[in-house]
Chains A and B, each alone.
Chain A
Amino acid sequence: MIFAFAESRGTSLRKAAFEAISAARELGDDVHALVVGPSGIAASAQELGAYGAKKVFVCEHAGFAQYNPEATAALLAERVKVGGYRAVVFVSTAQGRDLAPRVAAKLGAAFAPDVTSVATSGDEIVVTHPVYSGKAIAALVLNGAPAVIAARPSTFQPARTDGASPSVETIAPVGDPSASRVVVTELKIGGGGKLDVSEAAIVVSGGRGLKGPEHFNLVEDLAASFGNAAVGASRAVVDAGWRPHSDQVGQTGKVVSPDLYVAVGISGAIQHLAGMRTAKTIVAINRDKDAPIFKVADYGIVGDAFEIVPALAAAVREARRSG
């Protein structure tokens, strides 16, 4: 039996919840999930079943209105101990990175984060995990049960299953969640519903080739033309103050694995590549035909971004309208 943590925010599940289940299913069919949240979160249990959870534990409490690391970790650990699960699966989101190690420490378990593949081989669980800024891949053996695994975001795609409805069990929290020491007092949503680079399926990034912050509207427009693309930035333009650090894609920014990554005016220094080289499809637009980005791009266009990007945005809109 595999245990998956279904991440949520408020009363909605996040994409990571389904990714965790998908990753868990690589280890076994019998996947149980846990979701915590304020009153109203229970409604999401069915949806978790549609994506592969056979059983869903739900804990509703006002103390889970915001992320509550201590109470969530305590509940998870207890549930896992009681259930005798083989592995506990998270996703390495901001929350997952904070939560998974706590649970692992509580269980004294083998722990691997940011995992790109999982497999069992007899009694062992073997995972792969990128190290050294993505310059190498480590294959790790996790000994003992349970093992705690955190999957790399956007790597294990959610897949609907045609299984039966999950059995749902309501459980009580461990202790009083309102008495946790670490309290999230506020969640500030940035930029009015801005899609985060690490979540989007399509990312359009701009670099120094755009010559100035005022030209980023070209990149924003191209992103908008795809429908739900996020806008990313190279380190150079973040350092220059044109874009916020939360938009930075790269070794010291965010590592993204979207379906489509469009790099506009980005030369392709190794630090940037480390953040997006695992994207499924990479398109590069740059005026320098010798720019390193063209070596990793699946499709490249050489030329003036100020000319190409608007043309591309128009063509994308047209394709989406007619397609």
Chain B
Amino acid sequence: MKIAVCIKRVPDTETRIKVAGTKIDETGVKFIANPYDEFAVEAALQLKQKSGGEIVAISLGPDSAQETIRTALAMGADRGVHLKTDGQPYDTLSVAQALAVELKGYDLILLGKMAIDDYNHAMAPALAEILGLPCVSAVTALTIDGAKGTAEREVEGGTEVLSFPLPAVISTDKGLNKPRLPTLPGIMAAKKKPMESKPAALGAARVTVRSLALPPERPAGRIIGEGAAAVPELIRLLQTEAKVL
């Protein structure tokens, strides 16, 4: 089975964010592989373990994206493709078009449901439309049986069960699996796995970032009391001030 996994290099959002114009200030920021994409890599590895095949890890971005591809290779992907751009473009459709060029001929295309930097949640369905493939997004369970697949995804108040044919585009959500940690031999082997780099054919960008700002400071709250004795005051405030009761 030929599986493609798309991964994105994102800043570790545990660190403090400082804004510099329309981007974040990257000094001192550690970059990691998008955690949602790691679920996709793990899903691909489990499928390969069961039915064999090849896993190609693809990432779009500046040269540093190759580090992220190496992470996927260290987990067990077979080869990498780097689509080179200047900086990390924002527009989902523009990026989807560039990725689509590279994603022809795969049985399964896996990626994370969203990236923790742009929180766009859009890549998989957009990609699927461009490629004309079926798509299920944000899956928490996935089984592939020959040329058919079933998946589950969380919806408000419940879970949808879906069936779909292969080839397909699937995006992965937390809870699908527990991504394996690369072992040292895996990291060493990754350095030798083939990686090709080519310029990305980005589509036209329709969305631009005008500004990036830190959220407004919430006014400081107050501790209204201690223990159960403070409850009457809280009720009063919820009724009169906050007006939620």
Asked whether the complex places CB atoms of A and B closer than 8 A, the reply is yes
In the complex, per-residue mask of A186-204: 1 if CB is within 8 Å of any chain B CB, else 0: 1111100111101100100
A293 CB → nearest B CB, Å: 9
Q: From residue B108, how far is it (CB to closest CB) to chain A in Å?
A: 14
In this assembly, does A214 line the interface, its C-beta being within 8 Å of a C-beta of chain B? no
Of B117, B129, B138, B242, most buried by chain A (CB within 10 Å of CB) is B129
Per DSSP, chain A at the interface is mixed
Q: Size of chain B's interface in residues, with CB distance under 8 A?
A: 80
Interface-located stretch among A30-38, A40-48, A130-138, A168-176: A130-138
- Given A126-B210, A132-B117, A135-B17, the answer on whether A69 and B135 have CB atoms closer than 8 Å is yes
**B237 at interface, CB cutoff 8 A:** yes
Given known A-B contacts A98-B137, A135-B215, A312 and B231 have beta carbons under 8 A apart: yes
A184 to B151, CA, bound (A): 9
Question: Given A132-B17, A136-B19, A182-B162, is A260 in contact with B242 using a C-beta cutoff of 8 Å?
Answer: yes
Q: Which of the four size classes fits the interface of chain A?
A: 35 or more
Residues on A with beta carbons closer than 8 Å to the beta carbon of B137: 97-98
Interface positions of B from 200 to 245, Cβ below 8 Å from A: 206-215, 218, 220-228, 230-232, 234-235, 237-239, 242, 244-245
Are the C-beta atoms of B93 and A111 separated by less than 8 Å?
yes
Q: B93, B154, B242: which contacts A104 (Cβ < 8 A)?
A: B93
Per-residue interface assignment for chain A, residues 277 to 303, with 1 indicating a CB less than 8 Å from any chain B CB and 0 otherwise: 100111110000100001111111111
Which of chain B's residues has its CB closest to A129's CB? B119
In the complex, the answer to whether B223 meets A141 with C-beta atoms within 8 Å is no
Given A194-B157, A302-B226, 7 other A-B contacts at CB below 8 A?
A14-B156, A101-B125, A111-B122, A112-B207, A138-B118, A139-B211, A190-B158
Interface set of A (CB-CB < 8 Å, partner B)? 14, 66-67, 69-70, 73, 92-95, 97-102, 104-106, 108-114, 126, 129-144, 147, 181-190, 193-196, 198-199, 202, 245-246, 251-252, 259-260, 270-271, 277, 280-284, 289, 294-304, 307-308, 311-312, 315-316, 319-320, 323
Interface of B toward A, CB cutoff 8 Å: 11, 13-14, 17, 19, 24, 35, 90-93, 96, 113, 116-130, 134-138, 150, 153-165, 174-175, 206-215, 218, 220-228, 230-232, 234-235, 237-239, 242, 244-245
